Structure 1
Amino acid sequence: MISRAHGISVSSRPIEMVERKGKGHPDTICDRAAEEASISLSKYYLDKYGRIFHHNLDKCVLIGGQARARFGGGEVLEPMYLMIVGRATTKVDKGGSTDVVPIGSIILSATKSWLRKEFRFLDVDSHVVVDYRVKPGSVDLVHVFDSSSGVPLANDTSLGVAFAPYTETERLVMETERLLNSPDFKARRPEVGEDVKVMGLRENGSIHLTVAAAMVSKLINDRDQYASVVKDATEEILRMADRITHDDVEVNFNAADDYKRDRYYLTVTGLSAENGDDGQVGRGNRVGGLITPMRPMSLEAAAGKNPINHVGKIYNIAAQEIVNRLTSEVSGVDEAYCYMLSKIGHPIDEPQAVQVEYYGDASEDRVRSYTTSLIEEELSRLPRIWEDILQRKYELF
């Protein structure tokens, strides 16, 4: 069903709230761990057997450690603990012989590799313990996965939800985190760690950004240097904001700091998880990279789900592609939403329902005609969408 939306669009409402958890946030670390494990296992299956077997590694928890940070130094006292949990094909029948898939070595190697790459001050050998608990998949879901002779069959009855385009507030929140974790910014201000969270509030014509950024203690000698880093970071955010919005923007950087009581957001590793902040898959950014309570959202965690037939992953991606293209390719469509519902055991390109709503002055006939062909095109891509997922072409969290 395709229809013009009713009510007030998000950008026209008097208040708006949006959040992004950066790559070093404990919840995002869990999302990344689950997804990288799935990608690595999928590539192993492909290289070894020519196809991806059933798996879902979409459960992960990060238990925070203990650390003591101080200006000019600090130490990690107890390591973080990262546990990846799920189901997978652990044995493959090769016609008379059975291969045992080295699940553990695949997951541990992949996880430690990207942790080393992404976090400058994390010693993977001593600051974090990486573990896994992966068992064979349930018989019914394995059957659904393996029984499709052509188009894969949906392994769940689930929703995919997406919207486009981003509002100025959403763009500003997204770009603030990206700025602070960009290589260029890190080269200028290496004192800012990777654990960055941004909360945006638009109200009464102004946008208020609350930024929490873990600071690297060994690179900061005293309070004055800390204050200088905060000032520089705040000014860079405001300069970037001028390119995104004409609204007044206020930045509150590390709001919990209390200079009079010598309380600062100092960390040894640049990660809050070093000292008791825990994480879990699905508590962070949705597909598209934001947490948007003012928008319809799916509660599905896309990270770690298999890329072949898990509609909790691929329907959210497909819905996002549909609204991205609709709003960019059809003049007069200012804002669009897409909802996709699957049915377990049915081909993934035959959803139970697809609902598209839009705001704007484009004619309903034109939007309906274009969107119908757009939906058909995106659905036809679903059987091969795994190829782009393995290439990390989509922002899943």
Structure 2
Amino acid sequence: MARIQVVDGKNLLVEEMPVEIVERKGRGHPDSLCDGAAEELSVALCKFYREKVGRILHHNVDKAVLVGGSSEADFGGGRVIAPIQIYIVGRATLEWDGSQIDPEELFHDSIVQWLCRQVRHLKPEHLQLNFKVRRGSVDLQRIFYDEDKPPLANDTSFAVGFAPLSELERLVLETERFLNSEEGKQRFPQLGEDIKVMGVRDGDLIRLTIAAAFVSSLTPDRETYESVKEQIARFVEEEFAPKFTKRRVEVFVNTADTPDSAYLTVTGTSAEAGDDGQVGRGNRASGLITPYRPMTLEAVAGKNPVSHVGKVYSIMTQIIAQRIVDKVPEARQVYCYMVSQIGKPITDPQVVSVEIWGVPAAKVENEVKAVVDEVLGSWKQIRDGFVERRWQIY
């Protein structure tokens, strides 16, 4: 049985810290595109293995890099000169029972289509997608199985989850989501999908710095560009932010602009013009980058959803923290840490440490342990949730 430790929180609540910093990279950001492409390949492999073999086979395709292209964008139009190159690197089961597969041949087109859906003005000819997927380690394949008993951990790794989100975290997350939503695009059609929101709370003053790629063909002149920037800042400050906080909010949009330059793109992503990307450099499983919270450098995207604890535990710890907050009304903040040992069942981590604020740990220890046991026991649902794209992983 896993050792479950429940302790009182000792540091300040995030909401009480004098300064808080939160970042979110939107769906068209080069790092997000790398995360998504790697995860799409993992999901495609899982579905293919289940269809052909009846179970998921070993794979980890969690390395991807984006090499930015080049373009010429100006008010009213532009063109992509050199394509964006994306390399997906990893290991997978490529042969079994006399059968062989070529992931590039099978899944190239579907991942290109996925990328184009993320960035609505991106076209297949703007992309060069390359696969460098080799056979997996014999040792790891030997301990891998997808059956009705808990799988063995694919790695010695840890994850951490937290709940609830602070006001700043919710504001940053929801601001990017809105600007990239259908409603957001109807309100501000000139916006592309490469939107990054950096939130800084200094005492009770919140500053949001939004870097938003504009689509050049939908932005006829500088006057339109500046007007839309002002509209975005005013909307977020006056209409959107008050839904999440009573603190004063200041919004800044595309602060690197000069009289001679503007953030214009042909497609809506900076990846077209020299900005690069990589798996694991973007949002964590919380959907955010949160330096004032405990974090792991583990990338979630692309890892196998059966036994790679860097992926499975990243979601389990988030679920545990949220369920504790939901079940213990007095809990003001919860952190959950979990670490595995390679070759041991994923349901038997070395330790699960839960830190809780707002209520004495001893008072709710049994309730917290029951939540942990419940989530560890739901490993099949966690696994299937990845294949069904139910979990936010970046």
Above 0.5 in TM-score? yes
Provide the C-alpha distance between the structure 1 equivalents of 2:262 and 2:95, rounded to a whole number of angstroms.
50
Counterpart residue identity of residue 391, structure 1: E
CA contact (8 A) 2:64 2:279 kept: yes
1:220 maps to which residue?
219
- Helix, strand or coil at the partner of 2:378: helix
TM-score computed with the length of structure 2 as normaliser: 0.97
Segments of 5+ residues of structure 2 without an aligned counterpart are none
CA contact (8 A) 1:107 1:132 kept: no
Map of 1:159-238 to 2, 5 A cutoff?
159-238=158-237
**What's the CA shift for 1:144?**
1.3
Residue 65 of structure 2 corresponds to residue 67 of structure 1: no
Between the two proteins, the alignment pairs up a number of residues equal to 389
- Helix, strand or coil at the partner of 2:143: helix
Counterpart residue identity of residue 24, structure 2: R
**What's the CA shift for 1:92?**
1.2
Provide the C-alpha distance between the structure 2 equivalents of 1:106 and 1:352, rounded to a whole number of angstroms.
39
**What's the CA shift for 1:189?**
1.7
Residue 291 of structure 2 corresponds to residue 287 of structure 1: no
Provide the C-alpha distance between the structure 2 equivalents of 1:156 and 1:162, rounded to a whole number of angstroms.
19
**What's the CA shift for 1:226?**
0.5
Residue 359 of structure 2 corresponds to residue 366 of structure 1: no
Provide the C-alpha distance between the structure 1 equivalents of 2:387 and 2:294, rounded to a whole number of angstroms.
27
1:57 maps to which residue?
61
2:352 maps to which residue?
354
Provide the C-alpha distance between the structure 1 equivalents of 2:149 and 2:177, rounded to a whole number of angstroms.
40
TM-score computed with the length of structure 1 as normaliser: 0.96
Segments of 5+ residues of structure 1 without an aligned counterpart are none
Match of 2:43 among 14, 39, 42: 39
**What's the CA shift for 1:150?**
2.2
**What's the CA shift for 1:147?**
9.1
- Helix, strand or coil at the partner of 1:32: helix
Provide the C-alpha distance between the structure 2 equivalents of 1:193 and 1:384, rounded to a whole number of angstroms.
35
Q: Percent identity?
A: 47
Q: Which runs of 4+ in 1 moved over 2 A?
A: 146-150, 362-366
Provide the C-alpha distance between the structure 2 equivalents of 1:312 and 1:106, rounded to a whole number of angstroms.
26
Map of 1:82-161 to 2, 5 A cutoff?
82-93=86-97, 98-124=98-124, 126-146=125-145, 150-161=149-160
Deviates more, 1:8-17 or 1:231-240: 231-240
**What's the CA shift for 1:69?**
0.3
Sort the Cα spacing of 1:227 and 1:149 in 2 relative to 1 into closer, same or farther, 3 A.
closer
| Residue-by-residue CA offset, 1:286-311 (whole Å, 9 max, x unaligned) | 01100001110011000000000000
CA contact (8 A) 2:87 2:130 kept: yes
1:380 maps to which residue?
377
- Helix, strand or coil at the partner of 1:140: helix
**What's the CA shift for 1:185?**
1.2
1:14 maps to which residue?
18
Provide the C-alpha distance between the structure 1 equivalents of 2:225 and 2:234, rounded to a whole number of angstroms.
14
